[in-house]
Chain A
Amino acid sequence: MNKVSKSPWLLHYDASSCNGCDIEVLDCLTPKYDIERFGIINTGDPFQADILLITGGVNSQTESVVKQIYSQMPEPKVVVAVGICACTGGVFKECYNIKGGIDTVIPVDVYVPGCAARPEAIIDGVVKALSILDAKQAAMSKDGR
């Protein structure tokens, strides 16, 4: 990918993470990494978001919240699972209240492993998500939507 074709807005949700990946997601926005220079904004509103960053595995109570947030986001949308817990359940996989990774509930496009995922890896995941977003947008235009 040579250029960023869109300034995407992010939505971050903590499904059942230990906070480690969440503070790294926030860290991406702050002066050292500063993804706002690409026009990326962390929005709190699902209706305005293009990319959903989810941390942590899914438990019985967050399952419905994750589904609801995903359904509220407009098409095209991309889901990035941040951290090993969001990818597979990770260290908490055998806990009685953890169903597994985010892909047990909603479709996931990009997996960013790590415990906690480093900001460099998260930014890389978001850049990958951007090209997927472009592809989804192109597919939608082709369908005439």
Chain B
Amino acid sequence: MAKRSIVPFGPQHPVLPEPVHLDLVLEDETVVQAVPSIGYIHRGLEKLVDKRDFKQYTYIAERICGICSCGHGLGYCMAVEEVMGIEVPERANYLRAIWVEMSRIHSHLLWLGLLADAMGFESLFMESWRLREKILDMFDETAGGRIIHSVNQVGGVQKDMDATMLNHLLEAVKDIESDIKPVVNTFLQDYTVQSRLKGAGVLKKDDAVTLGAVGPMLRASGVEYDVRMLGYGAYKDLTVAPITSTDGDCYGRCEVRLKELFQSFDLIREAIGKIPSGDINVPVKGNPNGEYFMRIEQPRGEAIYYVKGNGTKYLDRFRLRTPTTSNIPPMVEILKGCQLADVPILILTIDPCVSCTER
């Protein structure tokens, strides 16, 4: 038997924008076990419900994570709205859907860039991030911020998009869609990229279900599951079909995310076509009393928001189960038996968001 050695990976590591630590147990170059240790970004945000009232907490919820900021604000607000029985105007639902789909495009393009960077394919990284700038410019124009948008509030949205903004958004989507084709071709057809992604980190369908994978990780293993199918918010009127792949390897996960980009382009166009006119928020009276579980589909998968109110303006409890939390057990599973050089790519293909996970 080869000699075992332990290689520490992180917390400060060139491929990771965020700190996470793994102890990799190696036999020669093969990983036999990966032991994650987390807590580098734990801030204790859930406890802040004691100090901020339920309306102010929306701003904290948006800062759980900078990449999925819009989705976290949405999930929290929808949970509180369900507790308080607030009916949100239809226009607000559509605006929320448009912003969330925009943030999905931004998140997936960011991830594609990071994957290319992990492979050492610098020009592909730059190209993906160049395309992402167009969406960030649209966020800047419609919401006033590039990363943290603060568009959601309990009872609707804070900002409206006028016809000019919607037209600009349509143009931006059209531009990205035509510019992205060479990037998609490189990811899916290029021999070098395929040799890094194909057959690496295979997660079987049964394992994906048993270990509780969510989002693109689950869909890449062939399970048709997307929380948007439940039809929350504006999704009841929009066409959402889960995008799946059968292989369950890194290539499959990359393919699912690339196709989801095009799905988001279509959803934005459909939502802009159907958006009704009217109010964008309703006044909120009283305090939340009761509890609710809200599920929404974030770019990384299903996120669950639990809210418990006690009739005062301060919530009793806010709890969040993030997609990355559920994807860590499958990640540890696919790391077993891989080569040391593949570790950064395997970790990246779950699209880890440590800041959501540790809060």
- Using a CB–CB distance below 8 Å, which chain A residues touch chain B? 12-14, 16-24, 26-27, 30-32, 43-46, 56-57, 59, 61-62, 65, 69, 91-92, 94-98, 115-116, 118
Query: In the bound complex, what is the Cα–Cα distance between A56 and B110 (angstroms)?
Result: 20
When A and B form their complex, which 6 residue pairs have the shortest distance between CB atoms, in order from nearest?
A44-B14, A20-B66, A19-B66, A30-B129, A116-B147, A95-B44
Decide: B148 and A20 in contact? CB cutoff 8 A.
Answer: yes
Per-residue contact bits, chain B 141-168, to A (CB 8 Å; 1 contact, 0 not): 0000111100000000000000000000
Closest to A69 in B: B12
- Chain B interface bracket (under 10, 10 to 19, 20 to 34, 35 or more): 35 or more
Can you show 5 pairs from A to B with CB atoms below 8 A apart?
A: A22-B18, A59-B41, A65-B19, A95-B43, A98-B44
Interface of B is mostly: loop
**In the complex the two chains form, is A118's CB within 8 Å of B146's CB?**
yes
When distances are taken between beta carbons in the complex, the residues of chain A under 8 Å from B22 are none
User: How does the 8 Å CB contact mask read for B120-136 relative to A, with 1 for contact and 0 for none?
Assistant: 00000110011001001
Judge whether B13 and A23 touch: CB under 8 Å: no
Q: How far is the CB of A70 from chain B (nearest CB, A)?
A: 11
Query: CA separation between A21 and B1, bound complex, in Å?
Result: 46
Q: Is the C-beta of B77 less than 8 angstroms from some C-beta in chain A? A: no
Q: CB-CB < 8 A to B15: which residues of A?
A: 44
From residue 28 to 77 of chain B, which have CB atoms closer than 8 A to chain A? 39-45, 47-48, 51, 59-60, 63-67, 69
Residue in A12, A16, A115 whose CB lies within 8 Å of B42 = A16
Instruction: Assess whether A26 is in contact with B17, with CB atoms less than 8 Å apart.
Output: yes
Question: Given A19-B17, A96-B47, are A14 and B148 also a contact pair (CB < 8 Å)?
Answer: no
